[in-house]
Amino acid sequence: MTFAQPSFDLIGRVAIVTGGNRGIGRAIALGLAHSGASVAILARDGDRNAAVENEIESIGVSAYADTLDVTDRDLLAPAMNHVEQALGPVDILVNNAGSADISGGVLGQSEDGWDNAVATHLDAVMLLSKIAATSMRARGHGKIINLASMYAIFGAGGLPSYAAVKGAVVQLTKSMAIELAPHGIQVNAIAPGWIATEMTQIARDDPGWADFQTMLLARTPMGRWGEPDECAGAAVFLASDAARFVTGVTLPVDGGYSVF
């Protein structure tokens, strides 16, 4: 039996990262670009999109950015078409766009907040994956990477909508992995832990959250917050041929938080 050297090379691949203009999404977009992929950013803030597009192009690969709210279903297929016209057929889809509604619990959860969480984290993931997978199936290969969360595993008393949809993302990932494997398409998820992003800034900087931060750092074996680029390595692995026999998994990137 010959040994196949693992390859993390993404040269010639085209990737989409939703919500790719900040935080984990930006880090993943840059990580894919550094591995050679052409990268499209689909996110709501045009100025931020342009800034990341420039960063990607400075690496020496092609980039494209389009202003998109993933909750607007009518815009999803056109956005995918625009990417393919600009960069070529999509090989890698990273469903990263998201937000957290800190409602304080079910008793304080608004219907609008719940609906937005479902539309952003679940509906958009399914719809974009369906569009991408249709194209990928015709070519016999593709990678879909969904962003889950450690709250897909643990309850979140103050963020019930977020925990519910992230749990659903894990199950959707498994279901799509089973369906699409015969077509050469792998579907996996990344479950970030406590990562230092704008979304978690209040927990890091607000004195009112000091006890909470002490608790989470004590529970994290690595004893610190994660950095966005530490999620990028997981995405590059899952997007690459090094992970060619990996599908249906949810990979924690949490410094060991989920071990307890």
Q: Catalogue the active-site residues.
A: 162
**CA–CA distance, 204 with 209 (Å, rounded to integer):** 7
In this structure, are residues 163 and 98 in contact, taking their beta carbons and an 8 Å threshold?
no
Is residue 32 within 8 Å of 8, Cβ to Cβ? no
Nearest CA-CA partner of 14 in 68, 64, 67, 70: 64
* Neighbouring C-beta atoms of residue 224, cutoff 10 Å: 10
Nearest-CA neighbor of 14 among 123, 135, 97? 135
Total Cβ atoms within 10 A of residue 211:
9
Residue type, 32: L
Burial class (CB in 10 A: 0-12, 13-18, 19+), 165: buried
CA torsion 102-260-96-124 (nearest 10°) is -70
Dihedral sign computed on CA atoms, order 149, 102, 128, 79: negative
Cβ-based neighbour number of residue 56 at 10 Å: 27
For residue 23, which amino acid is it?
Answer: G
